[in-house]
Amino acid sequence: MPAIQDIFQTCTQIKFNKATLEHIYQEVTGICTKEVVKQKDIREIEPMMFDQEIKLYDITFNYPEREEKVLEKVSLTIRKNQRIGIVGATGAGKTTLVDILLGLFIPGQGQITVDGVPIEAENVRSWQRIIGYVPQQIYLSDDTIIGNIAFGIPENQIDMEKIKKAATIARLDDFIERLPEKYHTVVGERGVKLSGGQMQRVGIARAVYHDPQVLILDEATSALDNITEQEFMEALEAAAEVKTLIIIAHRINTVRNCDIIIMLENGRVQEQGNYDMLMQCSEKFRTMATAGEKEQHQ
C-alpha cells in the first residue's frame, strides 16, 4: 500500500509540476497508465484573478473503490495574504485536501471558489497557474540543479536570476556553492545523492521560482531542522512575492505563526483558530503541541 501511494503521489506531482506536459500519468485505482495528452503550456494560460478569498464549502471526498469518507464536510475560508496552517495526524486527510485544493481531485460533494468563482474543469488550469505547490515527496529528475528547479521549462527560457533567487529563499544557495559544478551539478537518480532536507529545499525552490501568489507546502519542511525551517520562513516573508500561504504540518511549531490553524481529524475540521486561542481552548491542540515539544528535545 505505501508503495502504491508513493506512485500515486509522484503522479499528482508530475501532473502539477511539469509545465509542458506531454505525458500525463493517469491514476487508475492507484496504478499509473501512460497517456499522451497534448496540453497547452500552463504558462500560456491566463492566471486566475485572486483578490479576496478562497472558499471551500462542505468538501466531502472518498477515493474510488473505497467507501469510507476521507474528508467530510470540510469548509474553510482563506483570505488573500493570510497564512493558514493545517495540522493533524497521519491519515487525517491533509494531503487529500491539498490535492482537492489543487484541482487534482474533484470532490464528490462541495465546491471550491476563488473570489466567488467556482473552480471547474474549464478554469482549473488558470487556478493552478497562480499556485506554487511543494509536495510531501519531491520527485527529482535525472538532471542538473537548474533543470530540477526550473522543472519542465525549456532550457532556453530558464531565467538564471530567478533560479538563484529561488535557491536563496529555499536556503539552498550555500549547499549549491559547495557542489562540484554548482548549479550545473547533476542531481536526481544518477547524480549527487541529496538528503531529505536538501530534496525538500529543491522542491521549495521549484515552487517559488514561479513567484506564485498562493504557496501550498505539504509537510514540505518536515526534514528540515527547526533553524533552517525558521530561516526559510523568514526568507519567504522577506521575498514578499508569496502572500497567501497554506502550510500543512505535523509539527505545530511549523504553523505557530499562522493567522489560522485548522486541526483536521478523521477528515473533519475539529478546531480552528490561532495558536494562542487553540492553546487556551483546545485540549487536543495542547496535547499535540506538547508532544511536539517533547519530540524536539529528544
Ligand X SMILES: Nc1ncnc2c1ncn2[C@@H]1O[C@H](COP(=O)(O)OP(=O)(O)O)[C@@H](O)[C@H]1O
Of the candidate residues 95, 144, 200, 244, the single one contacting Mg ion (CB under 5 A): 95
200 forms part of the interface with Mg ion (CB under 5 A): no
Local structure of residue 92 (DSSP, 8 states): S
Pair type for strands 53-61 and 71-79: antiparallel
For residue 119, the one-letter residue type is I
92 forms part of the interface with ligand X (CB under 6 A): yes
Q: Which does 156 bind (CB under 5 to 8 A by kind): Mg ion, ligand X, none?
A: none
Grid cell 550545473 is found at: 184
Minimal distance, residue 86 CB to Mg ion, in Å:
10
Q: Which does 70 bind (CB under 5 to 8 A by kind): ligand X, Mg ion, none?
A: ligand X
93 forms part of the interface with ligand X (CB under 6 A): yes
Residues 16-35, mask of contacts with ligand X (x by CB under 6 A): --------------x-----
95 forms part of the interface with ligand X (CB under 6 A): yes
Minimal distance, residue 66 CB to ligand X, in Å:
5
Phi then psi dihedrals of residue 105, to 5 deg: -120, 145
Burial of residue 160 (CB within 10 Å: 0-12, 13-18, 19+) is exposed
Q: Which is nearer to Mg ion, 95 or 126 (CB)?
A: 95
Minimal distance, residue 37 CB to ligand X, in Å:
21
Q: Which is nearer to ligand X, 90 or 156 (CB)?
A: 90
Determine the Cα–Cα distance for residues 100 and 206; give it in Å rounded to an integer.
21
Minimal distance, residue 69 CB to ligand X, in Å:
10
CB 109 within 8 A of CB 193: no
Within 8 A by CB and 6+ apart from 254, the residues are 85, 221, 229, 247
Minimal distance, residue 274 CB to ligand X, in Å:
21
Q: Residue 46 CA to chain centroid, in angstroms?
A: 21
157 forms part of the interface with ligand X (CB under 6 A): no
For residue 206, the one-letter residue type is R
CB 12 within 8 A of CB 135: yes
Q: Which is nearer to ligand X, 95 or 144 (CB)?
A: 95
254 forms part of the interface with Mg ion (CB under 5 A): no
Q: Which is nearer to ligand X, 30 or 152 (CB)?
A: 30
Residues 48-87, mask of contacts with ligand X (x by CB under 6 A): ---------------x--x---x-----------------
CB 47 within 8 A of CB 130: yes
Determine the Cα–Cα distance for residues 138 and 32; give it in Å rounded to an integer.
18
Which residues are near ligand X by CB under 6 A? 5, 8, 30, 63, 66, 70, 88, 90-96
